[in-house]
C-alpha cells in the first residue's frame, strides 16, 4: 500500500548559477515564476519558455496542478534549465512511473557545465594575449 502524496510538493532545480525552487499544489494549471506568468517573466525569450515547460508537455500534468516557482541567480538560459529540472523532480515525486521517461529525455540530469574561471596572465579563461614575434 503506497502512502498518499503530501502537498505541497517542493523540488529544487539548478543550472549554472541559477536555483529554482518549485512548489506544486493541486489546482487548475496556474504557472507562476516569481509571482509572474511564464510569458511575462521570460518576455521575448521563446526558447527559455519552451525549455522550462518541456517536462509538462510529456507528462500532461499542467491542467491538474498549480506550479509556483521562485528562481534566482544566473541568466535566462540558466534559469530556464533550473526550472525544467525542478519541475521534472517534482513530477517524479507525484508519479514515480514517469522517472524512466524523464531520464531518457535527459530532464532528470543536472547539467554540470559551469563557467570556466579566468586564469592569471590571460585576458579570459582560454584566450591568451597576442604573441609578438619581435
> In whole angstroms, what is the distance from residue 28 CA to residue 46 CA?
23
Dihedral of alpha carbons 28, 91, 20, 76, sign: negative
With contact defined as beta carbons under 8 Å apart, do 67 and 22 qualify?
A: yes
The pTM for the full model equals: 0.90
Q: What domains appear along the chain, each with residue ranges and CATH number?
A: 9-105 (3.30.230.10)
Q: Using one digit for the tens of pLDDT, what is the confidence trace for 62-111?
A: 778 999 999 999 999 999 999 999 999 999 999 999 999 999 999 999 99
Q: Which residues contact 110 (CB under 8 A, 6 or more apart)?
A: 13, 14, 15, 85
> Cell numbers of 111, please?
547539467
Amino acid at each position: 500500500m503506497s502512502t498518499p502524496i503530501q502537498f505541497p510538493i517542493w523540488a529544487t532545480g539548478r543550472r549554472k548559477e541559477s536555483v529554482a525552487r518549485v512548489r506544486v499544489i493541486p489546482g487548475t494549471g496556474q504557472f507562476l515564476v516569481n509571482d509572474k506568468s511564464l510569458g511575462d517573466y521570460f518576455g521575448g525569450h521563446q526558447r527559455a519558455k519552451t525549455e522550462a515547460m518541456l517536462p509538462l508537455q510529456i507528462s500532461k500534468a499542467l491542467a491538474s496542478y498549480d506550479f509556483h516557482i521562485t528562481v534566482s541567480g544566473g541568466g535566462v538560459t540558466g534559469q530556464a534549465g533550473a526550472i525544467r529540472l525542478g519541475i521534472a523532480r517534482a513530477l517524479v515525486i507525484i508519479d514515480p512511473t514517469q522517472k524512466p521517461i524523464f531520464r531518457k529525455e535527459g530532464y532528470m540530469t543536472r547539467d554540470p557545465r559551469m563557467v570556466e574561471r579566468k586564469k592569471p596572465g590571460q585576458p579570459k579563461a582560454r584566450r591568451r594575449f597576442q604573441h609578438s614575434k619581435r
